[in-house]
């Protein structure tokens, strides 16, 4: 049986560079419309960021063991020592993968099952993730109620979906709490929202010191981040926050901390390596040039859509946020929709807590319920 580019239609690719303190691992998975997929694992000694833009290298000497191909519930393994596996860097995170496998030494279950490939080419977008960092990526923490005038009033926060247990487990000291704002210069707004968070933690898990990082303190950003025991990435407007994070070089500074990190709403979305930010204002919905994609902090490859229970029926200027924007975009990437109170814990694995939905290829599937948790995995959506 023979496959070529016309037979195998790519539905999505997943590529990640997982960096730990003493090792790294690179993997590339290419999924096809008919549920077949190819998986490559690359040796620890290879970092795809070492390739220059427009440079092409042969990966044969970097492939870890083999290439596997899954077809109709059967896995095939290729001896690729004689074949061609080339990677070209097109831009910062975008690469072209060329695979040519016509190897008679391929392992197969019977002669009639033998498969060969012509040259297959795929564009893959790498996620560069640093897994030594522990973080909770939440929709909300529910730290406040509203008074009769609509003002937020801090409260002792609850343990819904074990969030309080998780924070207690991962925060080693209660000396320095760092709140990183969503805007650089709107200091009055930053003070207002930071105070709600600080007061709630003071009622629930008090710290000795509370610091706010915005334009007034950004000259001390490295010191504040390095000394923090808990860092909270606030909610807000995703593109505005992303710009602020870039201005203070947070992507690199956050590598230097041993603090537990909590992302809330926009903070969770900007924690991804490749950020997905659907429009949320009328002018953004109507702007055909609105940019939905940014480079993020690289704490995870997961794209989070927060407040799903609030936004699943949202319509802006006649455009349905989920049906008209998020579902079509899910053909290019998986999107994890979190209800308020749900979160994803990043540690040695990815753990989903609370009601969460996976949006993929225009379909939505619940993958976790409230008061439950599960390990993230290769989910199947019918």
Domain range for 174: 135-375
> Which of 84, 111, 130 is where one domain is finished?
130
Task: Name the residue with tokens 């539905």.
Answer: 11
pLDDT tier for residue 270 given thresholds of 50, 70 and 90 = very high
Per-residue pLDDT of 324-366, as tens digits, reads 999 999 988 899 999 999 999 998 788 999 999 999 999 999 9
Same domain, 308 and 174: yes
Q: Is the pLDDT of residue 112 over 90?
A: no
Per-residue pLDDT of 285-323, as tens digits, reads 999 999 999 989 989 889 999 999 999 999 999 999 999
106 touches 78 (CB < 8 A): yes
Whether 382 maps to a domain, the answer reads no
Task: Name the residue with tokens 């090792």.
Answer: 23
Same domain, 171 and 269: yes
Same domain, 14 and 72: yes
- Exposure string for 57-90, b = 16+ CB within 10 A, e = fewer: bebeebbeebbbbbbeeeebebebeebebbbbbe
Please give the model's pTM, rounded to 2 decimal places: 0.76
* pLDDT > 70: percent of the chain: 80
- CA pair distance 119, 356, nearest whole angstrom: 39
Same domain, 110 and 190: no
Burial of 103 from C-beta contacts in 10 A (0-12 / 13-18 / 19+): middle
pLDDT tier for residue 222 given thresholds of 50, 70 and 90 = very high
Q: Is the pLDDT of residue 120 over 70?
A: no
| DSSP 8-class letter at 205 | S
| DSSP 8-class letter at 303 | P
275 touches 303 (CB < 8 A): yes
What token pair was written down for 194?
């930071």
- CA pair distance 157, 39, nearest whole angstrom: 43
Which residues make Cβ contacts (< 8 Å) with residue 108, sequence separation at least 6? 76, 114, 115
- Predicted pLDDT at 254: 92
Same domain, 59 and 204: no
Strand, coil or helix: what is 27?
strand
Q: Is the pLDDT of residue 43 over 50?
A: yes
Same domain, 318 and 174: yes
Whether 381 maps to a domain, the answer reads no
Same domain, 208 and 87: no
What token pair was written down for 382?
């019918």
Identify the H or E element spanning 215. none
Whether 139 maps to a domain, the answer reads yes
Q: Is the pLDDT of residue 137 over 60?
A: yes
Same domain, 150 and 294: yes
238-265: average pLDDT? 95
Mean pLDDT, the chain, rounded, equals: 84
Whether 318 maps to a domain, the answer reads yes
Per-residue pLDDT of 48-70, as tens digits, reads 877 888 888 887 777 654 555 55
What token pair was written down for 169?
């487990």
- Exposure string for 134-160, b = 16+ CB within 10 A, e = fewer: bbbbbbbbebbeeeeeeebebeebeeb
- Predicted pLDDT at 81: 52
Whether 380 maps to a domain, the answer reads no
> Which of 111, 130, 149 is where one domain is finished?
130
Whether 203 maps to a domain, the answer reads yes
Whether 34 maps to a domain, the answer reads yes
Same domain, 209 and 140: yes
- CATH code assigned at 223: 3.40.50.880
Kindly report the three-state secondary structure assignment for every residue of 45-112.
Answer: CCCHHHCCCCCEEECHHHEEEEEEEEECCEEEEECCCCCEEEEEECCCCEEEEEEECCCCCCECCCHH
Same domain, 174 and 320: yes
- CA pair distance 206, 203, nearest whole angstrom: 6
Whether 16 maps to a domain, the answer reads yes
> Which of 110, 130, 150 is where one domain is finished?
130
> Total domain count for the chain?
2
Of 10-19, 172-181, 296-305, 311-320, the poorest mean pLDDT is in: 10-19
- Predicted pLDDT at 4: 46
Same domain, 115 and 45: yes
- Predicted pLDDT at 119: 59
Provide φ and ψ at 357, rounded to 5°. Answer: -125, 140
Same domain, 180 and 298: yes
- CA pair distance 349, 330, nearest whole angstrom: 23
């Amino acid at each position: 049986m023979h496959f070529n580019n016309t037979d195998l239609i790519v539905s999505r690719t997943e590529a990640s560079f997982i960096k730990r303190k003493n090792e790294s691992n690179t993997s590339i998975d290419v999924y096809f419309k008919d549920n077949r997929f190819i998986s490559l694992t690359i040796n620890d000694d290879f970092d795809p960021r070492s390739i220059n833009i427009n440079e092409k290298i042969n990966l044969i000497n970097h492939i870890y063991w083999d290439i596997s191909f899954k077809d109709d519930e059967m896995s095939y393994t290729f001896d690729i020592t004689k074949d061609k596996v080339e990677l070209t860097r097109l831009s910062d995170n975008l690469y072209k993968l060329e695979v040519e496998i016509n190897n008679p030494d391929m392992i197969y279950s019977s002669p009639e099952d033998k498969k060969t490939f012509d040259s297959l080419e795929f564009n893959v977008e790498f996620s560069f993730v640093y897994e030594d960092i522990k973080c909770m990526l939440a929709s909300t923490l529910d730290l406040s109620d509203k008074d009769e005038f609509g003002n937020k009033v801090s409260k002792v926060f609850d343990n819904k979906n074990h969030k309080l247990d998780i924070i207690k487990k991962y925060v080693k000291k209660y000396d320095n709490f760092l709140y990183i704002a969503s805007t650089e210069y709107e200091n009055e707004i930053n003070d207002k929202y930071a105070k709600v968070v600080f007061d709630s933690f003071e009622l629930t898990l008090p710290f000795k010191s509370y610091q706010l990082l915005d334009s007034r303190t950004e000259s001390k950003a490295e010191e504040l981040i390095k000394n923090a025991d808990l860092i909270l990435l606030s909610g807000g407007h995703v593109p505005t926050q992303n710009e602020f994070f870039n201005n203070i070089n947070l992507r690199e500074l956050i590598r230097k901390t041993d603090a537990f990190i909590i992302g809330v709403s926009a903070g969770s979305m900007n924690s991804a390596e490749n950020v997905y930010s659907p429009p949320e204002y009328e002018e953004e919905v109507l702007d055909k040039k609105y940019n939905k994609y940014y480079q993020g902090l690289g704490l995870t490859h997961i794209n989070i859509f927060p407040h799903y229970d609030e936004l699943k029926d949202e319509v802006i200027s006649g455009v349905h946020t989920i049906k008209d924007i998020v579902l079509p975009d899910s053909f290019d990437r998986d999107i994890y929709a979190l209800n308020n109170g749900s979160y994803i814990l990043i540690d040695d694995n990815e753990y989903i807590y609370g009601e969460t939905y996976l949006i993929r290829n225009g379909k939505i599937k619940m993958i976790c319920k409230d008061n439950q948790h599960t390990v993230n995995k290769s989910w199947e959506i019918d």
